[in-house]
Homo-oligomer: A and B are copies of this chain.
């Protein structure tokens, strides 16, 4: 219980550190991201919070977290938006995510492979690269 309390205290501190006021929805949603190994969709968050928060609140919370560099979005081939926690290097306005994403076609979970950096790509002449998004699809280590 002490650890649980300090956990929640840490979540509040984390929000304050990012210059966000500490509200129930922000605490709950951030907690979900911290406890979750994979990425979350808007619908997941709605369910996992027991539909306690309005849909709009969840949309706005995700938007805020994105802007503050707390989470990043992951594009998927079936065109659903997923979100996952950023590591240390992201900040307000600037996302520095150079890792690739892995979607397991068995368990449907999506993971940030933080240890696997995006590769160097040689583009044809005349193209200037700003950002590279790599999404791998296959079977994860739990489902293999």
Contact = CB atoms under 8 A, between A and B. Distances in A.
A8 to B, nearest CB: 32
Contact of A77 (B73, B128, B129): B73
A20 interface: no
A113 interface: yes
Contacts of A81: 79
Given A73-B77, A131-B137, 16 more contacts: A75-B75, A75-B79, A102-B123, A105-B130, A113-B127, A116-B124, A119-B119, A119-B120, A121-B136, A128-B139, A130-B137, A131-B136, A132-B136, A133-B135, A133-B136, A135-B135
A5 interface: no
A131 to B, nearest CB: 4
22 contacts: A73-B77, A75-B76, A75-B79, A79-B81, A102-B127, A113-B123, A113-B124, A119-B119, A121-B134, A121-B136, A123-B136, A127-B136, A127-B140, A127-B144, A128-B138, A128-B144, A129-B138, A130-B137, A131-B137, A133-B136, A134-B135, A135-B135
| Number of copies of this kind of chain in the complex | 2
Interface SS, A side: strand
